[in-house]
Copies of this chain bind each other. A is one copy, B any other.
């Protein structure tokens, strides 16, 4: 039950979405117990993002919401991997990418809660 809310300032082609989808589906398993089998993604492109007062350079805000908690020792690998994916697929520099995590123990699916 992870959800990745992906908001980027650049346009995305269908090919880029497909590549991102595949790579995020692999990356999610860095967090113990998570897999693409339960992963939902939202891609929003052409977002109106400012970073450090500037909206002319590409930027990304990637929010990773998970059911339960994320072990600290998987965070470093996860953030490194996510930044690498966005930099490679969309040419957004890592120093203009935030990766924020949210942990929730109240999460439902298919009419009942985990």
Asked whether B52 lies within 8 Å of A43 as measured between CB atoms, the reply is no
**Segment 86-114 of A: residues with Cβ below 8 Å from B:** 94-95, 97-104, 106-113
Which residues of chain B are within 8 angstroms of A3 by Cβ–Cβ distance?
61, 98, 100
A-side interface size class: 35 or more
B40 near A48 (CB under 8 angstroms)? no
Provide the residues of chain B in CB contact with A51, threshold 8 Å: 39-41
Output the least CB separation between A32 and chain B (Å).
Answer: 15
Q: How many copies does the complex hold?
A: 3
Tell me which residues across on chain B come within 8 A of A43, comparing CB atoms: 48, 50
Chain B residues with Cβ under 8 A from A33's Cβ? none
9 contacts between A and B (CB under 8 A): A7-B42, A39-B51, A39-B53, A40-B51, A41-B51, A75-B113, A79-B113, A100-B104, A101-B108
Q: Contacts A3-B100, A41-B50, A78-B108 known; list 19 others, CB within 8 Å.
A: A3-B61, A17-B48, A21-B50, A39-B52, A40-B61, A42-B49, A42-B50, A44-B48, A75-B108, A80-B111, A83-B108, A83-B111, A97-B110, A99-B107, A99-B108, A100-B104, A100-B106, A100-B108, A102-B102
